[in-house]
Amino acid sequence: MPYAIRNSIILGVLLILVFIGGMLSNSQSVKRFEKIEKVFKENSHTLNQLKKTNPDLERTDEIIASLEEMKKKALENNKIILKKDNPSQTYQYLIDITETFTPGLNFDFKVAQGGKKGDIHFNSYTLNGSGNIELLHFFLYQLEYQAPLYVIESMRISETSVALKDTVDFSMKLSVFYDKKTGTSISEIPFRSFSYSNLTYNPFYSQIHAPLDRTEEEKYININSSVIIGLTPDKVFLRDMNGLIVTLVPGSRVAYGYLNYINWKQQCAVFNINRIGINQEVKMYLQGNEL
């Protein structure tokens, strides 16, 4: 057989084999494509059904944004349970409050107990101290209205002394609740800022008390140890136990009060004195004192 014919036969056989292999490969590809197309149509049909029954599926970005906004509002407005708690964390939180909002309020911090209420863990602490009543009021306000769930279990407030009328002693028990699964780390909770109205007066200060001795009152004449030695319709002349003579007119200061007015007809001077928390009217007569 000539060499050229033999080569032509071999080439033809190879072409036939390539053609048959391509046909078989194309057949497999067609079957795979048909299968994929079928799955695609089924998934498309399922997706269309889900969209009909759940129209919000097309608003995924809006839903995620809404959830983030709800989380932000929860951090700003609601009480939030902490992920964990320990004495160091709570003490630092309380110090942050005092340094930021109520500088000057001092207290001792002690661990009381720990445990569980239902499925929620808690730690309890006691705070004992003293300070200005307005600072204490704002400190309690912060504990109540800041986001972390700190609960004041008990509270005792008492007057420190009559002389320190704006200072009180206080003792409180504070519980901190936390949950590792659902809680939020305290580092993720920012301090809130809000409008605040302080106390109009100190409700723990005794308005009626024992007589006070204040050094600043000693520079004025004390009517309890003085006598009237002279009187005119508009002036009073007093002499104290040391022989010092002082001239007073209505409105002039005396120890713990002032000269209110002069009753020329009754020959007396009327003073307004407040040494025990109650305004008292004291009359001093030229011929003798009515105290």
pLDDT at 162 (0 to 100): 47
Q: Residue 178 is which amino acid?
A: Y
229 Cα distance to chain centroid: 61
- The dihedral region occupied by 181, where left means phi > 0, alpha psi between -120 and 50, and beta the remainder, is alpha
Residue that the structure tokens 């190879």 belong to: 14
**Better-predicted residue by pLDDT, 250 or 159:** 250
Residue range 87-188, CATH number? 3.30.70.60
Instruction: Show me where the domains of the chain are located.
Output: 3-53, 87-188, 215-290
Spacing of C-alpha 52 from chain mean position: 47
Confidence grade of residue 249 (pLDDT, cut at 50, 70, 90): very high
CA distance 196 to 217: 36
Of 82-91, 92-101, 132-141, 152-161, which range is least confident?
Answer: 152-161
Among 182-196, 199-213, 234-248, name the most confident range. 234-248
- pLDDT (0 to 100) of residue 291: 44
pLDDT tens digits, 25-53: 555 655 666 677 777 777 777 767 766 77
The model's pTM: 0.47
pLDDT classification of 56: cutoffs 50, 70, 90 = low
Contacts of 5 (CB under 8 A, 6+ apart): none
> Per-residue pLDDT tens for 133-145?
888 888 988 888 8
The percent of residues above 90 in pLDDT, for the chain, comes to 25
Element containing residue 52 per DSSP (H, E):
helix 3-53
User: What pLDDT is stored for residue 95 in this prediction?
Assistant: 92
Does residue 88 surpass a pLDDT of 70?
A: yes
